[in-house]
Amino acid sequence: MRPPTTNHDRLYMLLEDIMLVYRIETTVLIHRYMSTRSQRCKRRIIDHARKYSVLSKIPAQLKHLDRLVNVTNADCVANLRMDRNTFGRLCRILIEQGGLQPGKFLGIEEQVAIFIGVLAHHKKNRVVGFDFWRSGPTISHYVNKVLGVVLSLHPFLLAKPTPVAQDSNDPRWKWFKGCLGALDGTHKPRYRSRKGQIATNTLAVCDRKMQFVYLLPSRMGGVRW
């Protein structure tokens, strides 16, 4: 093997210098790229926060809630299935009896309106969030919050039936002495019914005034009464 010459040593040193300069320039370019990208991301986050800030949405939120419960009874009944007086009484019951507290950015009326809107019209979280100018997690949180308060008040809200008197003269009920009411079932989409559909057979009991006094939603869809 031939020993390395001076020209080979110079060439080797020149290549090392070139590679060193290349690595330095590459590092500088990567640093500049990451710095520019970070600034763009920060700018996008700031623009997004400005666009969807809480303060900018408050007027629209208050306007929508005002249209629901403070304008006419017709609008309130159409959207919440109750008039303004009943809605106000329900809010008061949930506060005084159930201990419902206002949120950081949501008042009691808006919480209850969101909850009733979901129940009355079977709306999805995204639809309700779009109507009330709220995010999906916010809608889900307050729906479950109000639902928990309502369930805790079932002894107060549930009407107890009065049995049919022994001396009743009502032609519809005088044949059913001591009867509390009538019951029937309906299918809810969860289990498969006897007709091949996915449903839950929910047992519902109502009194003589057609007011529900008992619900049993856990029966399988194929069960017959």
State the average pLDDT over residues 153-176: 78
Q: Examine the fold and report which residue of 157, 189, 209 is the final residue of a domain before the chain moves on.
A: 157
The whole domain housing 128 covers 56-157
**CA distances to 23, 86, 112, 139 from 70, in Å:** 69, 12, 14, 22
pTM equals 0.55
Let me know whether 60 and 135 are in one domain: yes
Dmax of the chain from CA atoms?
Answer: 128
Let me know whether 61 and 152 are in one domain: yes
pLDDT of residue 222 exceeding 50, the answer is no
Q: What's residue 220's pLDDT?
A: 54
Q: What's residue 181's pLDDT?
A: 73
192, burial (CB in 10 Å: exposed 0-12, middle 13-18, buried 19+): middle
Let me know whether 152 and 175 are in one domain: no
27-69 pLDDT, tens digit each: 888 888 888 887 777 777 666 555 556 667 777 778 878 888 8
Q: Examine the fold and report which residue of 157, 177, 206 is the final residue of a domain before the chain moves on.
A: 157
Let me know whether 166 and 98 are in one domain: no
The first and second tokens of residue 198, run together, are 């996915």
134, burial (CB in 10 Å: exposed 0-12, middle 13-18, buried 19+): buried
Let me know whether 81 and 148 are in one domain: yes
Give the chain's domain count.
2
User: CB-side exposure of 202: number of CA atoms within 13 Å?
Assistant: 12
Q: How far apart are CA 215 and CA 201, in angstroms?
A: 11
Q: Examine the fold and report which residue of 132, 157, 182 is the final residue of a domain before the chain moves on.
A: 157
89-111 pLDDT, tens digit each: 999 999 998 899 988 888 899 99
**CA distances to 12, 21, 22, 62, 158 from 18, in Å:** 10, 5, 6, 67, 85
Residue 118 lies in a domain: yes
Let me know whether 171 and 139 are in one domain: no
